[in-house]
Copies of this chain bind each other. A is one copy, B any other.
Amino acid sequence: MKKIKIAQITWQPDKDSSIPIYQQIVQYIRNNISNGEWPVGTRLPSQRDLARLFKVNRSTITSAIDELTSYGIISGNSGAGTEVISNTWSLFLPPVTDWNKFISAGFFQENNSIVQTINKLEFEPDLIRLGTGEIDPRLFPRKRWQKTLHTLETKITSLGYLEPLGLLALRKSLAKHLNDRGFEIEPDNILITSGSLQALQLISASLLQQDSTVFTEAPTYLKSLHLFQSMGMNLSGIPMDESGLQYWKIPINNGDMKNVLYTIPTNQNPSGITMSQERRLALLKFCLDKQLPIIEDGAYQELCFEGSSPQTLKNLDKNDMVIYLGTASKTLAPGLRIGWVVASKPIVRRLGDVKMQIDYGASSLSQWALSEFIDNGFYDEYLDCLRKELKSRRDRALNSLTKYFSKFATWNVPSGGFYIWLTFKNKIKIEAFFEQAINLGILLNPGDIYDFKHDHSLRLSFAYVTGDEFEASIKKLSEILDK
């Protein structure tokens, strides 16, 4: 019979340390396993004995054991005794003491807990999602999509690796689509990415520096992303007024040459604000003077309800100051994972080289499908329908707010996109409100995941729910507030 080794313990946690005691215990056990003292199969004393040996409460032991179990380092079977079950990959999981090294080294931070909760609950089918920045799946153009896939059945004869910039057919479709909207570009000015988030990653990894500052609107959805911070960059929020970003408040000196402006000038996420033409021109002049390059996120550019869309910064820019990001995620289907970068050819080539080192390009099946969808005119037809539907949903949403929320809050009136930014008149406990809403089956996006200072706002979205669903939810929420 195999001899069972029992872990020998003489160490005790330091109760004066700033490190939580359960965390010290996790680290102690981890270290004993990683230094080979306790090989796989070693039996740990019972939780009761551990509490005695470490001179701590039973609940502290439970926390430590739970954490080690969640990493897969020890078996959670507390009845028959806890055993060391892994001494390799699992040991790489606990937060290590030199975690800062990881972060500053371009490694990834975990998302904050409210963002993690939202990410998780977004896959609960029964919740009404009142803040989700995604098109209602019920609006997916099924018929047009069926026809598109049908054409592809014979068109796709193989699915090999694609050239570094992405499928030429798609880059041609997009160049035409964008040139019809004021761009002056060729297919080689376009890089296809796996969504806009990847575009930001490529720009960070190949053009920015670790100590770069990314200036952006406050509030901004970037704050909930952690992409830039994970890569060691700073995020600095710049206030907005109804005409958009107040560029003159950007704290920049001439010749810094390492910072960058990220902006969503049209139907901004989460504020819904669209930058005026005058502000756009002034911003460009400012950035030219200050040598501040611009990332323009055009995710909601084609979702303006009244009249034509404003000119993009990219179209107004004559000096290659702007890298423009587009995406199919906010208009058609996030699951395609297709975005596009529009920039000067040298920039596009550099980003393409880096992309090839990261994932060899986006799905060619997705690229074929989108190209086909654009070329046969479905994309334009569909966008027309979508704008009408979103406008009607916006109007319903504004009516519901007026009816139920006038006494509690104020909000903006967006001229396009998905979002209404709502601010409570009185300070409310937003985390508690978030929890109460979940109990009512409503998932909210609290403003503090977007804003730089703690605030009392919500990002509401009329894109994911119908007017009826929006009204019913707002009514329920007003009843919470009444109490």
Within the assembled complex, what's the spacing in Å between the Cα atoms of A255 and B149?
54
Q: Which residue of B lies closest to A140 (CB)?
A: B158
The quantity of this chain's copies bound in the complex is 2
Tell me whether A89 and B343 are in contact (CB under 8 A). yes
Which of B159, B294, B335, B358 is within 8 Å of A162, CB to CB?
Answer: B335
Determine if A360 is an interface residue (Cβ-Cβ < 8 Å): yes
- Point out the residues of chain B lying under 8 angstroms from A137, CB to CB: 157-158, 160
12 contacts between A and B (CB under 8 A): A34-B255, A72-B347, A101-B209, A110-B353, A111-B353, A142-B157, A149-B149, A194-B359, A197-B357, A335-B365, A336-B364, A337-B361
- Point out the residues of chain B lying under 8 angstroms from A156, CB to CB: 145, 149
Q: How far is the CB of A310 from chain B (nearest CB, A)?
A: 22
Tell me whether A357 and B195 are in contact (CB under 8 A). no
Within 8 A of B (CB), among A145-168: 145-146, 149-150, 152-154, 156-164
Given contacts A197-B359, A205-B108, A319-B85, contact A350 B159 (CB under 8 A): no
Of the candidate stretches A49-57, A90-98, A423-431, the one touching chain B is A90-98
Within 8 A of B (CB), among A330-358: 332-338, 343-347, 350, 353-354, 356-358
- Point out the residues of chain B lying under 8 angstroms from A257, CB to CB: 34-35, 91
Within the assembled complex, what's the spacing in Å between the Cα atoms of A88 and B209?
14
> Which residues of A pack against B, CB within 8 Å?
34-36, 40, 70-72, 85-93, 101-102, 105-111, 116, 119, 122-123, 134, 137-138, 140, 142, 145-146, 149-150, 152-154, 156-164, 194-195, 197-198, 201, 205-210, 225-227, 230-232, 254-255, 257, 287-288, 291-294, 319-321, 323, 332-338, 343-347, 350, 353-354, 356-366, 369
Other than the given A92-B208, A197-B357, 18 more pairs (CB < 8 A) read A86-B344, A89-B344, A90-B320, A101-B210, A110-B353, A111-B353, A111-B356, A119-B164, A149-B156, A159-B334, A161-B335, A201-B359, A225-B357, A226-B357, A337-B361, A359-B359, A363-B363, A365-B365
- Point out the residues of chain B lying under 8 angstroms from A108, CB to CB: 205-206, 354, 357-358
- Point out the residues of chain B lying under 8 angstroms from A161, CB to CB: 122, 134, 334-335
- Point out the residues of chain B lying under 8 angstroms from A332, CB to CB: 159
Within the assembled complex, what's the spacing in Å between the Cα atoms of A138 and B111?
44
Which of B89, B159, B354 is within 8 Å of A320, CB to CB?
Answer: B89
Within the assembled complex, what's the spacing in Å between the Cα atoms of A362 and B364?
12
- Point out the residues of chain B lying under 8 angstroms from A207, CB to CB: 89, 92-93
Within the assembled complex, what's the spacing in Å between the Cα atoms of A205 and B106?
8
Q: How far is the CB of A241 from chain B (nearest CB, A)?
A: 25
Tell me whether A319 and B359 are in contact (CB under 8 A). no
Tell me whether B319 and A86 are in contact (CB under 8 A). yes
Within the assembled complex, what's the spacing in Å between the Cα atoms of A151 and B333?
19
Within the assembled complex, what's the spacing in Å between the Cα atoms of A208 and B92?
8
Tell me whether B365 and A293 are in contact (CB under 8 A). no
Tell me whether B359 and A369 are in contact (CB under 8 A). no
Within the assembled complex, what's the spacing in Å between the Cα atoms of A35 and B70?
52
Given contacts A93-B346, A357-B227, contact A88 B293 (CB under 8 A): yes
Which of B140, B154, B209, B365 is within 8 Å of A157, CB to CB?
Answer: B140
Which of B90, B101, B319 is within 8 Å of A40, CB to CB?
Answer: B319
Tell me whether B291 and A88 are in contact (CB under 8 A). yes
Tell me whether B150 and A90 are in contact (CB under 8 A). no
Given contacts A101-B210, A205-B107, A321-B86, contact A254 B40 (CB under 8 A): no
Q: Which residue of B lies closest to A332 (CB)?
A: B159
Q: Which residue of B lies closest to A139 (CB)?
A: B158
Tell me whether B90 and A344 are in contact (CB under 8 A). yes
Tell me whether A87 and B291 are in contact (CB under 8 A). yes
